[in-house]
């Protein structure tokens, strides 16, 4: 049985992203969805749960691309047919990032 770990609504977001975990180099990712509390993405290599770092991705708001950079912690990482699905929890979002994600969620 699967237990939902998300803390709020999510909206589908399919775009490229970059994960930069503390002490490691950048890793290319593809986002799946995003919400005010976090996001999920697919990467080619597993990332340990609890690991912290940052994620960078693009949000299109009002026809313009906006680069989002946020501190994250890995909540889980599971193997799937597309790679490894990583659940990311946002840590200490600044107001500009919070606002951009809120506008995207509407």
Taking only the tens place, the pLDDT of each residue in 48-82 is 999 999 999 999 998 999 999 999 999 999 999 98
| pLDDT at res. 2 | 46
Entry field: residues in the chain? 106
Residue 28 has pLDDT above 80, yes or no: yes
Dig out the tokens for 79 from the structure: 């193997």
What is d(CA 19, CA 55) in angstroms, rounded to the nearest whole number?
5
Token duo for residue 55: 């994620």
Mean pLDDT of 22-27: 95
Percent residues over pLDDT 70 in the chain = 93
- Note the pLDDT tens digit of each residue in 81-91: 989 999 999 99
Residue 84 corresponds to which tokens in the numbers above? 């490894």
């Amino acid at each position: 049985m699967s237990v939902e770990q998300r803390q709020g609504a999510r909206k589908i977001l399919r775009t490229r992203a970059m994960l930069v975990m503390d002490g490691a180099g950048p890793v290319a990712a593809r986002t799946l969805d995003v919400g005010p509390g976090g996001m999920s993405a697919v990467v080619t290599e597993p990332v340990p749960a609890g690991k912290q770092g940052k994620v960078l991705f693009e949000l299109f708001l009002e026809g313009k691309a906006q680069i989002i950079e946020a501190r994250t912690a890995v909540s889980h990482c599971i193997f799937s047919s597309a790679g490894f699905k990583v659940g990311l929890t946002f840590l200490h979002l600044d107001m500009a990032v919070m606002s951009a994600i809120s506008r995207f969620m509407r």
